[in-house]
Structure 1
Amino acid sequence: MRFSVEPAGHFDLEAELKVWTSGMSTPIQKTFSMAVDIYEVQGLLAEYVGR
């Protein structure tokens, strides 16, 4: 499994998470509002993937 995080910016007010799992050519995508700490989500995923 791998993932990428794109934080919210000045023009794009939403953060985006993409998750690729084995056997999938396109990622699962989830959009988060600025109210969600995308770096906390990233940390949790990194902890899980690192196991």
Structure 2
Amino acid sequence: GCRADASEAAIILLPSNITVFTLDFSGSGLSGGEHVTLGWNEVNTC
């Protein structure tokens, strides 16, 4: 899923004062990019 998939949960949970926090990593859902390796391949870019 992606960040947009949480909309249904947010509609149900927010009125009960339950916070909804979502992430949309690059390559997963609606954000740009191809994929995320969570630092595995990005180690040399720092």
Fold match, TM over 0.5?
Answer: no
* Pairwise TM-score range, normalised by the shorter structure: under 0.3
Q: Which has the larger radius of gyration?
A: 2
| TM-score in terms of structure 1 length | 0.26
| TM-score in terms of structure 2 length | 0.27
Flag the structure with higher helix content.
2
